[in-house]
């Protein structure tokens, strides 16, 4: 804790004065362009990886970068998604998984987590991804984990589409979805092409998007 306090004091002393104009502007308003849904894992810092300033991205962090499907009793994630889209007017939503994810490891290895009932209940929102992953043959535990991380990003893209604000934004063409996977060791990022369900290097295919194409009936 001492290091955390010292870090704040350094920020207050050295960093804040140099950015005073930015923080003065942010004191009364925010206008982030993207909602970034990622894991709570301490090794991944979305603002650092995307090189964004305070106020640029609206962030949701939780175990497994999960977005429950919209339901009768929406929780905090649902409320945050709705606020980001309907109030703040974000134009992009990124769901970002990462390598060596503890939550996805627990699912891929069928780890017994009965002693963590809250975690077990939360990870049920990845059941669709787990079912698909279990149906595949994997050459190694590492491959099974990598596959689980990918399937989970696809599943959470599907889940977030059930949210009314997101569905409306997609229909109106005012919102785009992105599915990313960050590799902690290499610093590389993969991006989901929704039509092919393949992940490609973001550095080579920067326009890759996970926004599902609307059917002709939906476009009428």
pLDDT at residue number 101: 98
- H or E segment and range at residue 76: helix 76-82
Tokens of 129: 């991804």
Do the Cβ atoms of 153 and 65 come closer than 8 Å? yes
- Name 34's bridge partners: 57, 92
Q: Which residue has the tokens 């369900």?
A: 197
Percent of the chain with pLDDT over 90: 94
pLDDT digits (tens, 9 = 90+) for 151-189: 999 999 999 999 999 999 999 999 999 999 999 999 999
pLDDT digits (tens, 9 = 90+) for 97-139: 999 999 999 999 999 999 999 999 999 999 999 999 999 999 9
Which class is domain 32-214? alpha beta
- DSSP β-ladder status, 57-62 and 34-39: parallel
Tokens of 35: 């909602």
Q: CA-to-CA distance for 58 and 21, rounded, in angstroms?
A: 20
Q: Which residue has the tokens 């134009």?
A: 91
pLDDT band at 214 (very low <50, low <70, confident <90, very high): low
Indicate the average pLDDT of the chain. Answer: 95
pLDDT at residue number 212: 82
Spans of all domains in the chain: 1-30, 32-214
User: Shortest CA distance to 150 belongs to which of 136, 168, 167?
Assistant: 136
């Amino acid at each position: 804790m001492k290091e955390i306090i010292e870090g704040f004091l350094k920020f207050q002393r050295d960093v804040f004065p140099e950015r005073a104009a930015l923080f003065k502007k942010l004191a009364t308003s925010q206008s982030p362009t993207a909602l970034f849904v990622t894991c709570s894992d301490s090794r991944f810092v979305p603002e650092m990886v995307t090189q964004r300033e305070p106020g640029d991205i609206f962030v949701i962090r939780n175990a497994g970068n999960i977005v429950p499907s919209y339901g009768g009793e929406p929780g905090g994630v649902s409320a945050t998604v709705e606020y980001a889209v309907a109030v703040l007017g974000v134009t992009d939503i990124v769901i970002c998984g990462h390598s060596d994810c503890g939550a996805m490891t627990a699912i891929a290895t069928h780890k017994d987590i009965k002693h963590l009932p809250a975690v077990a209940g939360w990870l049920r929102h990845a059941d669709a991804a787990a079912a698909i992953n279990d149906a595949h043959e994997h050459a190694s535990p590492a491959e099974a984990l990598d596959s689980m991380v990918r399937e989970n990003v696809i599943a959470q893209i599907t889940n977030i589409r059930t949210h009314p604000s997101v569905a409306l934004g997609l229909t109106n063409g005012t919102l785009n979805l992105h599915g990313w996977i960050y590799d902690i060791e290499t610093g590389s990022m993969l991006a989901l092409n929704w039509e092919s369900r393949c992940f490609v290097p973001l550095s080579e295919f920067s326009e890759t998007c996970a926004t599902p194409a609307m059917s002709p009936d939906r476009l009428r």
